[in-house]
Amino acid sequence: MERSSRKQAQLRAELERLRATIDTHNHAYHVLDSPTVPDVEYDRLMRRLQEIEREHPELVTPDSPTQRVGATKLDAFKEVRHARPMLSLDNVFNDADLEAFDKRTRDRLIAADVRVEKVTYWAEPKLDGAAISLRYEKGDLVFAATRGDGATGEDVTHNVRTIRSVPLRLRGAKLPPVFEVRGEVFMPRAGFLEFNKRAVEKGERTFVNPRNAAAGSLRQLDPRLAAERPLDAFFYALGEVTDGVLRTLREQREIVTLLQELGLRTCPEAQLVEGVEGCLKYYRRVGKKRAALPYDIDGVVYKVNDLAWQRELGFVSRAPRFQIAHKFPAQEEMTLVRDVEFQVGRTGALTPVARLEPVFVGGVTVSNATLHNMDEVQRKDVRVGDTVIVRRAGDVIPEIVAVVVERRPPDARVVTLPARCPVCGSDVEREEGEAVARCVGGLFCPAQRKEAIRHFASRLALNIEGLGTKLIDQLVDQEIVKTVADIYGLTADQLAEPERLGEKSAHKLVAAIEKSKATTYARFLYALGIANVGEATALALANEFRTLDEILVADEERLQQVPDVGPIVATAIYTFFQQPHNREVIQALLTAGVRWPAAAPIARNELPLLGKTFVITGTLETMTRDEAKARLQALGAKVASSVSKKTTALIVGADAGSKLQTALSLGVPTWSEEQLRSSLGGGDV
C-alpha cells in the first residue's frame, strides 16, 4: 500500500513537472515568439505526458497541455472565437506507427458498417509555419485569426491583409454568406535568409527559423512592419461555411479544388494516395525533395479523402481521428558544445567548428557543427559548455541555430580567434571589415598546399603545363610535394609510377617544370598567391621595386606608395613576407633555379597608360589577347573582364561579343586593333 502511494506521488510530481515545462515552452513559442527548445524536445515531453495520462486517466486535469491545442492570446490583440475549433494533429514517427493508424482507421470504419479494404488518403506536406483562419463574408475578407488555444485566437487581420498571396476578395459569382478557410502562413527560405541578412546589417534582432519568423510577423502591432516581411500562405481546410456548400462536397480533394477556384493558394505537392503503401511512398518522395523545396516542412499529413468517412471517424479531445501527421526525423536537436576548434581551408580561411556531444538529428548522428566565422560566433554568443540547438537539413552541413542561454553553466568559456594558425603556426590575420580570418603562411601551410601549388603552376603564374589537379592531389596526399619548391625536385621516375603518368608524359612534365624556371619578376610575385595580389598588382610591385629584396624589407607605408596598393593590400603583402616559413620557401625556389631578368624599375612618368582601364573582346589578328593584356599592363594600364562606365576603351577584335553592345550603350569608346598597336608603340613587354 505504501509503495503504491509512493508511486502515485511520484507520478503526480512528474506530471506537474511535465505540465509546467510544456506550459513554459508553449509561452515562449506562442506568446513570446522565441522558442527555447527544438520541436523534437517538445514532442518528447508531450509524448511522455500523453503516455502517463493514457495509463492513468484519473490523473488527467482540464488544464493539462494534452487538453489544449496551443497557447493563450496576446493581450494586445482582439480576441476571436472560432466558429469551429482549430485542432492540432496527432503525430507518428515511423512506419509501424503509421500502419497502426491506418489499421485503427479501417477497424473503426468497419465497426460503423463501412465496407473498406484500402483507405484513400489526401497527402500533403506539413508546412512549418503558423496556422491561420480566414473568414470571408459575401466574398470579402472580414478577419483573420491565429489558432490560439484552438477555441479562441487572436485577430491578426491587419497583418494578413499585407500578404500578397491572400485574396482580399474571393473569386467567383456565387459566394456563400460565410466562408471560413484554414491554412498556414509561412516565410519562404529565400525571404527568411534575406530578412535575417538585413537585420544583421542593421543590428536588429534575427529570427531562429522561418516558422518563428512567420509567427512573429503575424503578431506585429504595426502592419507596415508585417508588410516588409516576405510572408506567403497555403490553404487546405474549411471552417464554418454556410449556404449548403459542404453538402455538395464528397472528398477532401474537392475541398482543395474549391479553394483553388476561389483564388486561394494550395500546396502544389499535395496528391491522392492509396493505402498505407501509398502513404509511405509519398512520405519518402517528399522527404527526398525536402531540402529543395522553397519552404520548410517537418513532415507530411494524411487525411481520409472521403468526407463522409471523416464525419464517421470524428474527433478526440484535441485532434481529428481521420488525419495524422507523419513527422520527418528531427532537423533540430539540443546538445552540448564540448569544444570549439578552428579548421584551416585550402585558401587559408579559418572556420570555427563546434565539437558536440553526439546527438541524433536529421537521420544521422552529429558530433560537429560549423560556426562559419567569428562574426557568427559572436552574434550567436556560442560558448564552450553551452547547450545549443543544432539543425541539419538534408545534406546541408549541421549548424548551431541558437544557444539555450537559460542552461548556460557559470564556467562557460568564450571563444576567441587564435593568433597563430593551428596547422602551421603562421600568423592569423583578419582584415578590417572582413568576417573571415586567414592563415598567412600560404606557401608552407599544409592545409593550403594543394591550392598554393595549383595557383603556382597555373597559366598566368609559372605556367607548368601538365601539372594538373589530379596529379597535384596525388603528390600532396603521398607527401612527395609539401611546398611549391618541391616541384623542382620531381623526377621522371617519380612521375611515371603507376596511376600517375606514362613515361612520355612524365618526361614532358619534367621539361615543362625546367622551362618554368625562366619567368618574369611580375609572374613570380603573382605565383606566390599573396592575398589580394592579382596580376595587375604584381606588375605594379615589379615596376616599383628593383629587386625582390626591396619588397622583402618594405614596410606597409612604403608599399602603399605603389599605385592601387591601399592599406588592406599593403598589410597582406607585408604580413606574407614577414612569415619565416614563406621566406624559406621563396629561398628554396631561388636555390632551385627560378629566375627572371634583372630590369631597372619603371618610373611612373614612363607609364603612359597608368590609371587607364581597358577591356578586350573578339579575336585579334596580330597578337593573342593574353599578349595584348600583358603589353597594356606593362605600360601601366589595367585590363578588366567586363565593361563599365569607368572603362577607358573597349578593344574590339573580330567576332566581338556582347561586350560591344554594352560599351555602345554606356558610351564607352571603342578601339580597333590598329589603335591598340599605336598606343602600344609597337614595343614588346
Give the count of alpha carbons within 13 A of 412, CB side only: 19
Please check whether residues 312 and 336 belong to one and the same domain: no
Last residue of a domain, one of 327, 355, 380: 327
Q: Report pLDDT for 75.
A: 56
Please check whether residues 99 and 234 belong to one and the same domain: yes
Please check whether residues 48 and 139 belong to one and the same domain: no
Catalytic amino acids?
126
* Residue 357: pLDDT band with limits 50, 70, 90: very high
Q: Report pLDDT for 604.
A: 54
Q: Which residues pair with 184 in a beta bridge?
A: 131, 234
The β-bridge relationship of strands 613-617 and 649-652 is parallel
Has residue 71 got a pLDDT over 50? no
Does the residue 600 lie in any domain? no
Q: Report pLDDT for 577.
A: 93
C-alpha cell read off for 112: 460503423
| Contact between residue 244 and residue 299 where contact means Cβ atoms under 8 Å apart | no
Please check whether residues 222 and 308 belong to one and the same domain: yes
DSSP E strand boundaries for 392-539: 399-403, 413-414, 428-429, 437-439
- For residue 658, give the CATH number of its domain: 3.40.50.10190
DSSP state of 320: B
| Contact between residue 464 and residue 516 where contact means Cβ atoms under 8 Å apart | yes
Q: What is the mean pLDDT of residues 501-530?
A: 93
Please check whether residues 22 and 161 belong to one and the same domain: no
Q: What are phi and psi of 492, to 5 degrees?
A: -65, -35
C-alpha cell read off for 294: 522553397
| Contact between residue 439 and residue 423 where contact means Cβ atoms under 8 Å apart | yes
Q: How far is CA 191 from CA 188, 223, 231, 495, in A?
A: 5, 18, 8, 52
* C-alpha 554 chain-centroid distance: 42
Please check whether residues 228 and 97 belong to one and the same domain: yes
Count of beta carbons in the 10 Å neighbourhood of residue 674 = 10
| Contact between residue 93 and residue 343 where contact means Cβ atoms under 8 Å apart | no
Has residue 605 got a pLDDT over 80? no
Q: How far, in Å, CA of 461 to CA of 80, rounded? A: 71
Q: How far, in Å, CA of 257 to CA of 264, rounded? A: 10
* Residue 599: pLDDT band with limits 50, 70, 90: low
* Residue 428: pLDDT band with limits 50, 70, 90: very high
Q: How far, in Å, CA of 524 to CA of 517, rounded? A: 10
Q: Report pLDDT for 612.
A: 84
Identify residue 351 by its one-letter amino acid code: T
Q: Could you give the residue ranges of the DSSP H alpha helices within 480-579?
A: 492-495, 503-516, 521-527, 535-544, 548-553, 556-559, 567-578
* Residue 11: pLDDT band with limits 50, 70, 90: confident
Last residue of a domain, one of 281, 301, 327: 327
Identify residue 424 by its one-letter amino acid code: C
| Contact between residue 337 and residue 382 where contact means Cβ atoms under 8 Å apart | yes
The count of domains in the chain is 5
- What's the domain range around 444? 428-592
Q: How far apart are the first and last CA of the chain?
A: 102
Does the residue 299 lie in any domain? yes
- Average of per-residue pLDDT values in the chain: 87
As to burial, measured by CB atoms within 10 angstroms (0-12 exposed, 13-18 middle, 19+ buried), residue 128 is buried
- For residue 316, give the CATH number of its domain: 3.30.470.30
Least confident of 56-65, 256-265, 444-453, 472-481: 56-65
- Which residue in the block uniquely carries the three cell numbers 625562366? 518
Please check whether residues 103 and 233 belong to one and the same domain: yes
Q: How far is CA 73 from CA 29, 77, 212, 231, in A?
A: 12, 7, 16, 21
| Contact between residue 170 and residue 182 where contact means Cβ atoms under 8 Å apart | no
Last residue of a domain, one of 289, 310, 327: 327
Has residue 600 got a pLDDT over 70? no
- For residue 36, give the CATH number of its domain: 1.10.287.610
- For residue 500, give the CATH number of its domain: 1.10.150.20
Does the residue 77 lie in any domain? no
Has residue 455 got a pLDDT over 80? yes
Least confident of 6-15, 20-29, 163-172, 607-616: 20-29
| Contact between residue 231 and residue 267 where contact means Cβ atoms under 8 Å apart | no
* Residue 66: pLDDT band with limits 50, 70, 90: confident
CA torsion 601-607-609-610 (nearest 10°) is 70
Does the residue 417 lie in any domain? no
| Contact between residue 525 and residue 538 where contact means Cβ atoms under 8 Å apart | yes
Q: What is the pLDDT of residues 368-381, one digit of tens each?
A: 998 988 988 998 99
- Which residue in the block uniquely carries the three cell numbers 506507427? 97
Q: How far is CA 557 from CA 326, 544, 553, 561, 568, in A?
A: 65, 14, 12, 7, 11
Q: Is the dihedral of CA 22, 25, 29, 32 positive or negative?
A: positive
Does the residue 47 lie in any domain? yes
Percentage of residues of the chain with pLDDT beyond 70: 94
Please check whether residues 283 and 341 belong to one and the same domain: no
Percentage of residues of the chain with pLDDT beyond 90: 44
Q: How far, in Å, CA of 287 to CA of 290, rounded? A: 5
* Residue 685: pLDDT band with limits 50, 70, 90: very low
C-alpha cell read off for 641: 573582364
Please check whether residues 463 and 551 belong to one and the same domain: yes
Q: How far, in Å, CA of 496 to CA of 503, rounded? A: 5
Q: How far, in Å, CA of 219 to CA of 231, rounded? A: 12
Please check whether residues 434 and 493 belong to one and the same domain: yes
Does the residue 75 lie in any domain? no
| Contact between residue 386 and residue 400 where contact means Cβ atoms under 8 Å apart | no
DSSP state of 263: T
Burial 612-624 (b: 16+ CB within 10 A, else e): bbbbbbbebeebe
| Contact between residue 300 and residue 325 where contact means Cβ atoms under 8 Å apart | yes
C-alpha cell read off for 121: 488518403
3-state secondary structure of 447: helix
Does the residue 79 lie in any domain? no
Please check whether residues 516 and 648 belong to one and the same domain: no
Please check whether residues 488 and 626 belong to one and the same domain: no
Q: Which of 229, 248, 230 is nearest to 238 (CA)?
A: 248
Has residue 1 got a pLDDT over 80? no
Q: What's this model's pTM, rounded to 2 decimal places? A: 0.58
Give the count of alpha carbons within 13 A of 563, CB side only: 21
Q: Which of 559, 555, 543 is nearest to 604 (CA)?
A: 543
- For residue 386, give the CATH number of its domain: 2.40.50.140
As to burial, measured by CB atoms within 10 angstroms (0-12 exposed, 13-18 middle, 19+ buried), residue 463 is middle
Q: What is the mean pLDDT of residues 10-18?
A: 87
Q: Report pLDDT for 471.
A: 92
| Contact between residue 639 and residue 631 where contact means Cβ atoms under 8 Å apart | no
Q: How far, in Å, CA of 183 to CA of 233, rounded? A: 7
Does the residue 78 lie in any domain? no
DSSP line for 167-211:
-SB--SSS--SEEEEEEEEE--HHHHHHHHHHHHHHT----SSHH
Has residue 684 got a pLDDT over 50? no
